C-alpha cells in the first residue's frame, strides 16, 4: 500500500483524500516509510517532524480547517516538505548555517502557516546550501544532498533537498525559494518541475529584503498540474509582504488547457553564455516539439549586453542587507562565497549601483519588447547537466572556465532580473543518463501562461512519469571540453 501511495501524483492523492479513500495519516506513514528507505542514499530531509505531522493529520481527520475545503489550493492532509530556510514552529530550522545549528523557531513563516491552514502537512525540512547561497546543496550542519539519478552527482541548489524529496517519492510536493535559479536548476538536475513565480505572487513574509523582487518562494513537484495545485495553495495577498497581491480569479489548476503559443527560443542569448554542447542539442530538439501542437517556434531572445555584471552588483546588495551584521559577528562561521558576495556589495559605489539599476531597466525594456511579439521565452533550464557532488559549482561549461560560483546561473538570473515567472520542466536525458530541462518564461504576472505552456510540453513528452525513482549509484562523467558554438 505504501508503494502505491508514494507513486500517486499530488493531484491524485488529494482527490483520494477528498473522497476519503485514503487518510492523511496513511499518507504520512507511507512517506515516513519511503524516507527511511531512500534517505540514507540522498540526504534530502535531514530534519524530520513526523510526530508533529501525525498530530496534524489527526486534527485534519477530526475536521480542523474544513472550512477551507472549497479553496482551489486545499491539500486535504497531503504531506509536503519545507526548505530549511523557512521557519516551521517547533521544528529545528538552521538555514544551513552553523550559526543557527540549534535554532528552533516559536512561530512558522507566514507561508508555512498558509500551507498548513490549507491542509498541507509538514513532514520535515529539506536541505539547502548555507543561507541558500550556492549551486550545489551542502552545508556544514548536514552535509551534502545527492542526486537520485546518480548519487555521485549534485542535485544543484539551493532547493536541492526539495527537488530530491519529490523525485524519490519522499513527498508529493516541496516548498522552495528562488533567487538565481534555486527552484529551476534543482528541478532541471533532478528531472522534476520547479516554478519561480512572479515576484509578489507568493508571500516572503519575514524577509529583510521585503522590497526587492529578486528572491521569491515557490512550488516544486513531479508534474506541472501538481505545481499548479501547490501554487494555488501558496498564492495570495499577505499583509506581511508589501509586494503581494490577491490570488487570481481563475485558479492555476484551471488554467492548464493547451493552446497555441508563439515561442522565442535561445540556447545561449546570442552566444553570450556558454552552454554544454549536448544540453544545447537536447533542448533545441525538445523545444521544436511545440510545433506538434501548432505552436510557432523561432530563434529569438533579447540581448543580454552587460546584464551579468549588473546582476552581480544587485545580488551583492541583497547580501549586504541579509548578511552584513552577521559578517561582523560570526565571520568565522560563514562560507567564503557568502563573504565574497557581501564584501563585493559593501565595496560598490553609489554610481555603480545606479549603473546596475539602469542596466536592469534597459534589460526589462528589451524583455518587454520580446513579449510584445512572443508569448514565451524558452532557454535550457541549466547550462550544464549535474556535476560532481563534491564540487561547489562546475569548474567550466563547454570548455569555458567559470570565474565565480554564480557564472553558471545566468540563464536563470536573466529571467529573475526581468521579474518574469519561469517553469523548469524535464525535456530529456543526456548520454550519461543525467536529466536535462527547459526553462519556460512568460511575461511578468503571466504565471498561468508559463504553466500552461509547460503542461502542453509535458503532455507531448510524458517525462513526468519517469519519477519517483529509487536512488542510483554512479560515477562522475567527464566534463564537456568543446567550446560553445
pLDDT tens string 122-169: 999 999 999 999 999 999 999 999 999 999 999 999 999 999 999 999
pLDDT tens string 282-340: 999 999 999 999 999 999 999 999 999 999 999 999 999 999 999 999 999 999 999 99
DSSP 164: H
Mean of all residue pLDDT scores within the chain: 97
Q: How many CA atoms lie within 13 A of 161 on its CB side?
A: 35
pLDDT at position 484 over 60: no
Count other C-beta atoms under 10 Å from residue 7's C-beta.
Answer: 16
Rounded to an integer, what distance in angstroms lies between the CA atom of residue 152 and that of residue 209? 35
**pLDDT category of residue 418 using cuts at 50, 70 and 90:** very high
Residue 273 neighbours by CB under 8 Å, 6+ apart: 304, 383, 410, 411, 484
Reply yes or no: is the peptide bond before residue 479 cis, omega within 30 of 0: no
Q: How many CA atoms lie within 13 A of 259 on its CB side?
A: 12
Rounded to an integer, what distance in angstroms lies between the CA atom of residue 148 and that of residue 435? 11
Count other C-beta atoms under 10 Å from residue 255's C-beta.
Answer: 17
Instruction: Report CA-CA distances (Å) from 330 to 283, 319, 323, 326, 345.
Output: 43, 15, 10, 5, 18
Give pLDDT, residue 406: 86
Copy the grid coordinates of residue 104: 528552533
Instruction: Report CA-CA distances (Å) from 429 to 278, 283, 445.
Output: 10, 10, 31
Residue 169 neighbours by CB under 8 Å, 6+ apart: 6, 7, 34, 38, 467, 468, 469
Evaluate if pTM is beyond 0.85.
yes
Query: Which residue's entry shows cell 521544436?
Result: 288
Copy the grid coordinates of residue 325: 551584521
Give pLDDT, residue 389: 98
pLDDT tens string 432-449: 999 999 999 999 999 999
The DSSP secondary structure of 193-256, one letter per residue, reads: EEEEPPTTSB--TT-S-TT-SS-EEEEEESSHHHHHHHHHHHBS-BTTBTT--PPPSS-GGGS-
Poorest-confidence range of 393-402, 409-418, 447-456?
393-402
Task: List residues with catalytic annotation.
Answer: 83, 158, 182
Q: Cα angle at 428 between 222 and 464, to 5 degrees?
A: 20
pLDDT at position 388 over 70: yes
pLDDT at position 205 over 70: yes
pLDDT at position 483 over 50: no
pLDDT at position 20 over 90: yes
Which has the higher per-residue pLDDT, 448 or 1? 448
pLDDT tens string 42-97: 999 999 999 999 999 999 999 999 999 999 999 999 999 999 999 999 999 999 99
- If phi > 0 it is left, if psi is from -120 to 50 it is alpha, else beta; for residue 76 that is left
Domain 2-466 is of which CATH architecture? Alpha-Beta Complex (3.90)
Query: Which residue's entry shows cell 533579447?
Result: 302
pLDDT at position 479 over 90: no
Give pLDDT, residue 485: 35
Rounded to an integer, what distance in angstroms lies between the CA atom of residue 342 and that of residue 344? 5
Helix (H/G/I), strand (E/B), else coil: 425: strand
CA dihedral 255, 261, 265, 269 (to 10 degrees): -70
**pLDDT category of residue 481 using cuts at 50, 70 and 90:** low
pLDDT tens string 328-360: 999 999 999 999 999 999 999 999 999 999 999
Give pLDDT, residue 1: 79
Reply yes or no: is the peptide bond before residue 437 cis, omega within 30 of 0: no
Report the percentage of the chain scoring pLDDT > 70.
99
The DSSP secondary structure of 307-347, one letter per residue, reads: HHHHHHHHHHHHHHHHHHHHHHHHGGGS-HHHHHHHHHHHH
C-beta of residue 386 within 8 angstroms of C-beta of residue 155: yes
Amino acid at each position: 500500500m505504501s508503494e502505491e501511495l508514494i507513486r500517486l501524483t499530488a493531484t491524485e492523492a488529494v482527490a483520494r483524500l477528498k473522497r476519503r479513500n485514503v487518510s492523511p495519516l496513511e499518507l504520512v506513514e507511507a512517506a515516513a516509510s519511503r524516507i527511511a528507505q531512500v534517505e540514507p542514499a540522498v540526504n534530502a530531509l535531514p530534519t524530520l517532524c513526523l510526530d508533529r505531522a501525525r498530530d496534524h493529520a489527526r486534527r485534519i481527520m477530526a475536521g480542523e480547517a474544513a472550512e477551507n475545503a472549497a479553496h482551489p489550493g486545499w491539500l486535504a492532509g497531503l504531506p509536503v516538505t519545507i526548505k530549511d530556510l523557512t521557519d516551521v514552529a517547533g521544528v529545528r530550522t538552521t538555514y544551513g548555517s552553523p550559526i543557527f545549528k540549534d535554532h528552533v523557531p516559536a512561530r512558522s513563516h507566514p507561508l508555512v502557516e498558509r500551507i498548513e491552514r490549507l491542509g498541507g502537512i509538514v513532514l520535515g525540512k529539506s536541505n539547502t546550501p548555507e543561507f541558500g547561497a550556492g549551486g550545489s546543496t551542502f552545508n556544514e550542519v548536514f552535509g551534502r544532498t545527492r542526486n537520485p539519478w546518480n548519487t555521485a552527482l549534485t542535485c544543484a541548489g539551493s532547493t536541492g533537498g526539495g527537488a530530491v524529496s519529490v523525485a524519490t517519492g519522499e513527498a508529493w510536493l516541496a516548498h522552495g525559494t528562488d533567487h538565481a535559479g534555486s527552484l529551476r536548476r534543482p528541478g532541471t538536475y533532478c528531472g522534476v518541475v520547479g516554478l519561480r513565480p512572479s515576484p509578489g505572487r507568493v508571500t516572503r513574509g519575514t524577509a529583510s529584503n521585503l522590497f526587492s523582487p529578486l528572491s521569491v518562494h515557490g512550488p516544486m513537484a513531479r508534474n506541472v498540474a501538481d505545481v499548479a495545485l501547490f501554487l494555488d495553495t501558496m498564492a495570495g495577498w499577505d499583509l506581511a509582504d508589501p509586494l503581494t497581491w490577491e490570488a487570481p480569479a481563475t485558479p492555476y489548476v484551471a488554467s492548464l488547457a493547451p493552446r497555441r503559443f508563439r515561442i522565442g527560443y535561445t540556447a545561449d542569448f546570442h552566444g553570450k553564455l556558454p552552454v554544454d554542447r549536448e544540453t544545447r542539442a537536447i533542448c533545441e530538439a525538445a523545444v521544436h516539439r511545440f510545433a506538434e501542437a501548432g505552436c510557432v517556434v523561432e530563434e529569438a531572445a533579447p540581448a543580454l549586453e552587460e546584464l551579468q555584471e549588473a546582476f552581480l552588483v544587485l545580488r551583492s546588495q541583497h547580501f549586504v542587507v541579509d548578511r552584513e551584521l552577521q559578517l561582523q559577528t560570526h565571520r568565522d562561521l560563514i562560507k567564503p562565497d557568502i563573504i565574497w558576495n557581501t564584501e563585493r556589495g559593501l565595496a560598490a559605489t553609489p554610481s555603480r549601483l545606479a549603473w546596475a539599476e539602469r542596466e536592469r531597466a534597459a534589460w526589462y525594456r528589451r524583455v518587454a519588447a520580446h513579449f510584445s511579439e512572443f508569448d514565451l521565452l524558452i532557454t535550457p533550464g541549466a547550462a550544464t547537466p549535474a556535476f560532481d557532488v563534491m564540487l561547489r559549482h562546475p569548474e567550466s561549461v563547454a570548455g569555458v572556465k567559470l570565474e565565480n560560483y554564480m557564472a553558471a546561473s545566468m540563464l536563470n538570473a536573466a529571467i529573475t532580473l526581468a521579474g518574469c515567472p519561469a517553469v523548469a520542466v524535464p525535456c530529456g536525458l543526456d548520454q550519461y543518463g543525467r536529466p536535462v530541462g527547459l526553462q519556460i518564461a512568460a511575461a511578468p504576472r503571466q504565471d498561468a501562461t508559463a504553466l500552461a505552456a509547460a503542461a502542453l510540453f509535458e503532455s507531448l513528452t510524458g517525462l513526468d512519469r519517469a519519477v519517483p525513482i529509487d536512488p542510483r549509484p554512479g560515477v562522475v562523467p567527464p566534463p564537456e571540453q568543446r567550446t560553445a558554438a
